[in-house]
Amino acid sequence: MQKNEICSMWVQQINEIKAGNAKTLARCISYIENETAGYENLLEQLPVVLTPVIGITGPPGAGKSTLVDALIGLLVNEGKSVGIICVDPSSPFNLGALLGDRIRMSDWYNNPKVFIRSLATRGSLGGLHPKIIEISDLMKVAGFDYVIVETVGVGQSEIEIAGLADITIVVVVPEAGDEVQTMKAGLMEIADVFVVNKADRPDANIFVKNLRLMLAPAFHNHTIPVPVIKTIASRKEGIPELLKIITEQVSLKKDNEKKSWLLAEKAFHLIQQKKMKPVDKLMLKQKIEEAGKDFNLYTFIKRYY
């Protein structure tokens, strides 16, 4: 098939996605995820779309999935459409999704205004899928009012989400006091909104007060305080306030310098992936097995790479 024909084929697929064809969207996500031959031509045909991407991150057990489920309900009730990307931990052996805990969102799988796709991290250390940038850009083409990306929540390395999302929401729980105290400046800086979920637990108010003090402009480079919202996602409490904050922040244009840094972050990850493409984990495993008992990791890397 000639290049013009390939481009024409992808343009047709993109037009179907724009028209709301969920099956075509799911199929094209799989093309990107599995690096099917010609998928880069698909990416090159993607138009510029300004659909806001909302990143939701935070430590395991903070209630991110329950929070996303509550947000979906509120958005659908307001007549909005939403695309969800849920990134699950993956097995280190076969790189498949390890948890797949999407039961909290099971009510929305057949709703025409909601599209949910679960992805595995495939060994990525930052709590995101290696192709998350490309997949989120594809989903923006589908005409959703919002695209929500929920990360695995693997600790301080989840600042990767800042290079992807227009708004980053960090979800924590009242018991995370010591954890917040030891957060790296990077994670504190990337949050556009802090959500204290499970706010019915003891000492929640004290935790919120201390968090607001830590986020005060006097201690950080924020020109205005970062909002701290209390929620009880399991009871849908605090969700309207959170959506109001999200809507307000979406309407505010990010300054050009920050936007440029976010785009530079995206470009860096894409170039990094391209450079690492020749490195195959299965081949590495075979070479390590062939090395036998005298295997030395550092000698091995120097010899082959």
Amino acid residing at 230 = K
pLDDT of 96: 46
* Banded pLDDT at 237 (limits 50, 70, 90): very high
Distance CA 230, CA 208 (A): 8
Asked if 3 and 105 touch (Cβ cutoff 8 Å), the reply is no
Is residue 176 within 8 Å of 210, Cβ to Cβ?
no
Q: For tokens 């697929």, what's the residue?
A: 13
Evaluate whether 61 touches 156 at the Cβ level (below 8 Å).
no
154-183 burial by CB neighbour count: b if 16+ within 10 A, else e?
A: bbeebbbbbbbbbbbbbbbbbebeeebeeb
Closest CA to 128 of 106, 158, 163: 158
**Predicted confidence (pLDDT) per residue in 249-266, tens digit:** 888 755 555 667 767 777
More confident residue, 130 or 90: 130
DSSP per position, 80-138: --EEEEEEEPB-TTT--BS----GGGGGGTT-TTEEEEEEE-TT-TTSS-TTHHHHHHH
The CATH number of 48-252, from 3.10.105.10, 3.30.1330.10, 3.40.50.300, 1.10.287.70, is: 3.40.50.300
Question: By the 8 A CB rule, do 90 and 123 touch?
Answer: yes
The total number of residues written for the chain in this structure: 305
What are the angstrom distances between the C-alpha of 140 and each of 64, 238, 250?
A: 22, 27, 15
Could you count the other beta carbons within 10 Å of the beta carbon of residue 217? 11
pLDDT per residue over 113-128, tens digit each?
999 998 875 544 444 6
User: Residue 281 is which amino acid?
Assistant: K
Tell me the pLDDT tens digit for each residue of 222-236. 567 889 999 999 999
Q: How much is the pTM?
A: 0.81
Sequence ranges of the chain with CATH classification 3.40.50.300: 48-252
Which residue has tokens 């986020």? 215
Beta pairing, strands 228-230 & 114-120: unpaired
Q: Tell me what pLDDT residue 254 has.
A: 58
